[in-house]
Amino acid sequence: MFSSAPQSTSTPAAGTPGTGTRLALADDLLALLRTTTTEPRPDEKLEALTLAVAADLPVLLWGEPGIGKTAALTQLATSLDLPLTTVIASVHEPSDFSGLPVVGDDPAVRGVPMAPPQWAVELVRAGRGLLFLDELSTATPAVQAALLRVVLERRVGALQLPSRVRIVAAANPRASAADGWELSPPLANRFVHLHWAHDREVVVRGLGGVWPRAELPRLVSERLPEAVAFARRAVCGFLEARPTLIHRLPGTETRRGGAWPSPRSWEAALTLLAFGRAASVSREVLALLVRGAVGDGPGLELLAHLERMDLPDPESLLAEPVSAELPKRGDLRQAALEAVVAAVGARPERERWEAGWAVLVRALETGAPDLLVAPATALAALRRDDWEVPEAVERLAGVVGLARRADRSVERATAAAEAGRATGTCR
């Protein structure tokens, strides 16, 4: 039983801060802990995110709980000076996105308008913003269906969101989500999917008070027409060669909830290619975006197609072999030299054959000599009996001969080793 005796109240001793003062000091300490700065720092995931946001494409960040998806979006909104509106999709009803019916005067004539929620009204009032749809994978299928118009048409009820509102969502994998659902294929196909993972150096430096700065891509105005032409040529040329990839719905429920190819997602990939070309982003960033739009397999095939597109025209190399600009990457350089030999073989003429040797000499002057063995051998096989050997061949003879001797030495050593293992005398 509780005592009915009056409770005594203690008075702080002289010089001891009161409760209000102690809370104020606690707030000051919290403010110091929350005070951070940013720095320009290479971050491929963040660069891919900002480019997709600039391209006005909905982005879905996949990652385990606590990985920093929400913090990244908060910092992104601050860096871009956009008001952040966070909507937890899993705690809303479908009517919160499709609108609540409001019966007015004479509904038979005027109809029943669908009133939008407060957060949508505030976004329209601001005229811009970053709409963050969190916990998307824990939203019920009915809520996901209601989100289709929000993500694609930017409509909430009867309200049209401003064009300067960008949409980013976040989701946990089903195994990590509380009561999680797989995303419906129609909703998943509207997003660019980026897989978010922590970077040790970013986390350590961020906890020390310095986070990477999110910046919009620097688009070069002079490159915009060329970027659009390149993107259209790349995607259209690829799909002409691989028409079965225009629309391919995955067979499993899990893969349907991710990135997969469709006319809609190819349009997103085309947009991302144009933005990436105009901003001169790295191949790694472009790979994240393209694979996030159409899936890993089709995305990797498109990237390989892009590399072939970037190869120099063999006819241009044959026209001006002395000043030929060859790719620096070994595999691309090899492909360019093989294309030159193939072009000569398609139209074998003495002048073109001699120009082919001049291209190989240029390759010898500007790159590794070991790449010349195969194309030099193939070009030599194209010689007609009445064609004199050009002087350029003498410059390549030593390199090709040395490479062949090295190959024969390796073959002899391999044969000796195999013979030794067979007889049990290999040392």
What is residue 413's predicted lDDT score, i.e. its pLDDT? 45
Q: Is 66 left (phi over 0), alpha (psi -120 to 50) or beta?
A: left
Give the strand pairing for 59-62 and 192-195: parallel
**Residue showing tokens 């240029």:** 362
Angle at the Cα of 272 from the Cα atoms of 271 and 277, rounded to 5 degrees = 100
Question: 0.85 cut: is pTM over it?
Answer: no
- Report the C-alpha gap between 48 and 209 in whole angstroms: 23
Q: Measured between alpha carbons, how far is 205 from 138 in angstroms, rounded to an integer?
A: 32
Q: Which has the closest alpha carbon to 48: 296, 289, 278?
A: 289
The residue written with tokens 């995955």 in the block is 250
Secondary structure of the chain in the HEC alphabet?
CCCCCCCCCCCCCCCCCCHHHHHHHHHHHHHHHHCCEEECCCCHHHHHHHHHHHCCCCEEEECCCCCCHHHHHHHHHHHCCCCEEEEEHHHCCCHHHHCEECCCCCHHHHCCCEECCHHHHHHHHHCCEEEEEECHHHCCHHHHHHHHHHHHCCEECCEECCCCEEEEEEECCCCCCCCCCCCCHHHHCCCEEEECCCCHHHHHHHHCCEEECCCCCCCCHHHHHHHHHHHHHHHHHHHHHCHHHCCCCCCCHHHHCCCCCCHHHHHHHHHHHHHHHHHCCCHHHHHHHHHHHHCHHHHHHHHHHHHHHCCCCHHHHHHCHHHCCCCCCHHHHHHHHHHHHHHHHHCCCHHHHHHHHHHHHHHHHHCCHHHHHHHHHHHHCCCCCCCCCCHHHHHHHHHHHHHHHHHHHHHHHHHHHHHHHHHCCCC
Q: What residues in the chain have per-residue pLDDT under 70? A: 1-18, 103-112, 174-180, 397-427
Nearest Cα residue to 294 out of 277, 310, 272, 275: 272
Closest CA to 191 of 176, 170, 213, 219: 170
Amino acid 249: pLDDT:
93
| Residues 343, 305 contacting (CB under 8 angstroms) | no
Q: How far apart are CA 7 and CA 9, in angstroms?
A: 7
| Residue 115 phi, psi dihedral angles, 5° rounding | -75, 130
**pLDDT score recorded for residue 399:** 62
Q: Measure CA 156 to chain center.
A: 28
Contacts of 196 (CB under 8 A, 6+ apart): 45, 61, 62, 63, 67, 68, 69, 72, 170
CA 28/CA 207 separation, integer angstroms: 18
The pLDDT tens digits of the residues spanning 332-371 come to: 888 889 889 999 999 999 999 999 989 988 988 888 887 8
pLDDT of the residue at 2: 45
| Amino acid 203: pLDDT | 85
* Nearest of 277, 266, 163 to residue 222 by alpha carbon: 277
Tokens 């952040």 belong to residue: 84
Cβ atoms 122, 85 nearer than 8 A: yes
In this structure, is the dihedral angle defined by the CA atoms of residues 235, 43, 187 and 63, taken in order, positive or negative?
positive
What sign does the dihedral 176-181-182-187 (CA atoms) show?
negative
pLDDT value at position 417? 53
